[in-house]
Every structure is written in C-alpha cells, then in structure tokens.
Structure 1
Amino acid sequence: MEIAIINPDTLSAIGLKKLLGEISPEFVIRTFADYGSLADDTPDMYTWYFISSQTYVLYNSFFLPRKEKTVILMHGISFNTPSAGNHILNMFLPEKMMKAELTKFFSDSIPLSMLQDEAELSPREIEVLVLVTKGFINKEIADKLNISLTTVITHRKNITEKLGIKSVSGLTMYAVMNGYVEADRI
C-alpha cells in the first residue's frame, strides 16, 4: 500500500510516517512538503493521501475526485467539524489514541471516528450557501435569488442546523471541501 503524506509541518509528517510504519511495515510511505513535490512524483500511484487542510483547500481540484482516498489532517477538530464524507484525522490526539484510530481505520476501511453523518442540503440551500461563502449579506442573497429576506434567514438557519456549522468561515470550508465553490473564487 502506497501512502503519500503532504504536509508542510515536517515534525507532524515525520511523526505520522512513524505511526503508520508501526501499524504496518508493509506500507510504503513518502512525505512531501507541498503539493508541487507530489505533482513532480507520480501522484496517482498512491492508495491514500494524508494531507494538511490547507493543501486540500488549495488543490481541491486534485483531491476532491480522490475524496475516498484522502485523509485531511486537522488541528483540534470536534464532532461539529464539516466532514461530508471526508476522512478526517485530528492531529492533536494523544499518540496512543491516534495509533488506535489509524489501526481501526485501516483494518475496518471505514471513516475515522471523527466523521459524522450529515443531512443533505436542498438545491436552494446550496445556492444560499454558495452566496454566503462569496460574501453576500442576507439582503443581497434575497435580491439575487428573488426570494424574501425571511426565506434567506430560514435557509441559513436550516443550513446551520443540518451541518452544525455556525461561522461563515466554517461554511466556506464546508463548501470548498464539497466542491460547491472553488477556493480561488471566494
């Protein structure tokens, strides 16, 4: 099994490589400081990609189609973090707990325990979400979609409840991670 770790944090990358090697000596693990180094290699040969959240956002066009093979390395995430079918690993877990999570992940081939099931957004909620991520205020969204201000507020409330995300930055991250908007169009 070929694993690529793409993380500019050298110590985190080395530590993760060590943990993965302890889980299975058969893993072939390569570390890359940035996406460019991975691209210079043979990027499609890897079974799994362990990548920093910044790399995921910046190179979403490469990783989104490989979502099932990508594990996003997050710092201090909680159960309310937008998962949307993404594999997420909390890099602040204690060593024993992280090793247990990784062992379970590879043995069961299921998402890491930090994942949650989320409700589907309606097409209109997705439209509202995209406009929110682009910086439009409620009144502008109402005018743009030709709906009432109250309806926009209701859609935003529903989006927040379904996703468990309250901040605009969190909603933006969710939209990018799910391909609703491209990071360079925000």
Structure 2
Amino acid sequence: MKSVFVSSIAEFLSQANIEASPAWELINGRAIQKPMPTLFHSRLQRNLVNYINLHSESLEAVQEWRCIVPPLSPVPDISVVLRSRLPEEDGPLNGSPDWLIEIRSPDQSTLDLQNKILHCLKNGTQLAWLIDITRQQIWVWQGDDLPNIFSGADILPSLEEIPALSVNEVMAMTGRN
C-alpha cells in the first residue's frame, strides 16, 4: 500500500488521484491507497450491498463511497446510510455512515481499520462490522461498547429492518452467486 503525508483534509481532497482505483483515504494525516480487493472480497462486498438494498426501504448500501469525517476521509468498503441523509448532488458523504462495513484484506492492518472504525463511531456511526474472511470472524461495534467477536452460527446485529444474518451466511457470500 502506498502512503503519503498531507497537511490537511483540504490538501488531500484537492489531489487529482484520490478517486483512482483503488481509492485513497486520509487517515491520521496520511494519504493511504486502499489495497486492490481479492475475488472473495469483491464478491462479499457486492453480495452484502445487494442483500442490504434488497431488504431495506429506509437504508441504502453503497460500495467504496468517500466520507468526509474531519480530520479523516475514509472510504469504507460498504457505507450504509439512511436514505433521508443521502445528498441531492453527487459527491462524498459529509459525515459518517450509519453502518460501516470493512472487509479486511490480508495486507491491511487490523489496528488501522479499527482506528478508522472508532473515529466514525465517535462521529455518528451506529454500527460497524470488521469482516475477517481468513479467520471467519466478524468484529462488531455498537455505540460506545467494546467490540464483540462473532463466528459460525452467531447472529449479527444489523440496522432497521434488515433481516439478521449469521457469520456463516455472510462468509457464504464470498462464493459465486
């Protein structure tokens, strides 16, 4: 992963390459390019977004959508936002998603992902999942609570009317659908 120091969020957002694939994030004063997703990561991301959008009238799930949460500019793997908060014009989400979902890539630091999640939780995110495909676990944060680690048949918390999923059901979304 590439990393470059920048002095401010304004400087970061003015750079031409931040929307290149994979996207760049501003985390703790460093512009960091996200890792290229793997096949299983991409499938899981697509299938979770489709599942959430199929089962909700009040929420919308979006892949790789830039958020502005000063002094950070994260690009969660999946941002789930109340439709009433969606902007009228195209562009980043000003604020934290209501539900943030990250899928850990093998070369990503769990600590860096957790720091991004904690920052968003302090700034309005109600629920966060950190999915570790390799370990078949999902770390879940709600409000100010410490994270809980779910695995196997454990049922995961979700927002609004989204039907509950088990960790096994989420991990199965890495398969071909």
TM-score by length of 1: 0.28
Bigger fraction of residues in helix: 1
Larger relative CO (CA 8 A, sep 6+): 1 or 2?
1
Structure that is richer in strand per residue: 2
Q: What's the TM-score once normalised by structure 2's chain length?
A: 0.29
